[in-house]
Amino acid sequence: MNASIQAAMGAAQPRKGADQPPVLVYDNVRKLYGDFVALNGVSLQVNKGEVMCLIGPSGSGKSTLLRCTNALETLNGGRVLLDGVPLPTKESEVRKVRQRMGMVFQSFELFPHKTALDNVAMGPITVLGMPESEARARAMKLLEKVGLASKAQNYPANLSGGQQQRVAIARALAMEPEVMLFDEPTSALDPETVGEVLNVMKKLAQEGMTMIVVTHEMSFAQRVANWVVVFENGAIMEEGPPAQIFDNPTVARTRDFLGHLGWNG
């Protein structure tokens, strides 16, 4: 089949989850820091089961968008809707909404004085009021899932960066979130441990978890994302399926950005 027919067929494929109401909708979101415009009217949607990768230059607003997603920031305009309902502003309601989203940062932010198991079990115990034995059983299952059952009793200082990040993912999953938000989860890792974290994320994606992933790992975005959004200066420069963004970008600056990263498909 020639490439243009293949591309046309690809383009005709419906976007994943398009048959259901979107999980997240960003409607003309604006965020200012002083008079600096960090997000300049971003409109976007995330469907159920989608893996959306956010890429773009440093300072383009990717982390800000994640922070607006779990109400860590107050908007200066527009709305973010979770399951069709605008994010609340009241602190007690904000906390409930945050429980529905798991967040994984570049810095793992585990509690250093707690074992891997206790780091994972802590949220269910303190936030959900789950009995300790049940929470520990859940935590153990999640450590197994991320390949760290044998490290359950290790303290973070005695885990590699990749292992710590996998504990952080298990900890986020322990709250049974509807959406997982990842902000450059592998940027602080030694190269040899990046793969183990990306594999855990890939497995989650295959299980149908809805995920937003800010990443500089272009090959992950190409292989695992079903939707890629390119940011520039607080706005969306281009969005589309990975085949479009990486192989056939419609915006010349997308190509420039990927070229600067050394991306050549």
Ligand X SMILES: Nc1ncnc2c1ncn2[C@@H]1O[C@H](COP(=O)(O)OP(=O)(O)OP(=O)(O)O)[C@@H](O)[C@H]1O
Residues near Mg ion, by CB under 5 A = 63
Give residue 81's identity as a one-letter amino acid code: L
Q: 71, exposed or middle or buried, with CB in 10 Å at 0-12, 13-18, 19+?
A: buried
Nearest to ligand X of 48, 220 (CB atom): 220
Q: How many CB atoms lie within 10 A of CB 87?
A: 19
Stretch that binds ligand X, among 59-67, 166-174, 218-226, 238-246 (CB under 6 A): 59-67
Residue 63 vs 165, nearer CB to Mg ion: 63
Distance CA 259, CA 29 (A): 29
- The residue (of 50 and 73) whose beta carbon lies closer to ligand X is 73
Give the pair of three-digit tokens for residue 210: 């809805």
Least gap, CB of 63 to ligand X (angstroms): 3
Q: Where are the alpha helices (DSSP H) in the chain?
A: 3-12, 62-69, 91-99, 116-126, 132-145, 161-173, 191-206, 218-224, 242, 252-260
232: Cα within 13 Å, side-chain hemisphere? 12
Sign of the CA dihedral running 27, 33, 38, 41: positive
Q: Which does 215 bind (CB under 5 to 8 A by kind): ligand X, Mg ion, none?
A: none
Task: Say which residue the tokens 């415009």 belong to.
Answer: 37
Binding residue for ligand X, selected from 62, 138, 151, 171, defined by CB under 6 A: 62
Token look-up 């979101």 returns 29
Taking CB under 6 A as the criterion, the residue among 45, 63, 164, 165 binding ligand X is 63
β partners of residue 27: 79
Contacted by 33, from ligand X, Mg ion, none: CB < 5 to 8 Å by type: ligand X
* Smallest separation, CB 106 to Mg ion (Å): 8
Which region among 31-39, 45-53, 121-129, 191-199 touches ligand X (by CB under 6 A)?
31-39
Nearest approach in angstroms of CB 64 to Mg ion is 8
Name which of 146 and 201 has its Cβ closer to ligand X: 201
**Closest separation in Å from C-beta 188 to ligand X:** 12
Going residue by residue from 212 to 231, which x/- string records binding to ligand X, judged by CB under 6 A?
--------------------
Q: How far apart are CA 242 and CA 121, in angstroms?
A: 36
Cβ atoms of residues 166 and 139 within 8 Å: no
Binding stretches for ligand X (CB under 6 A): 33, 36, 38, 58-64
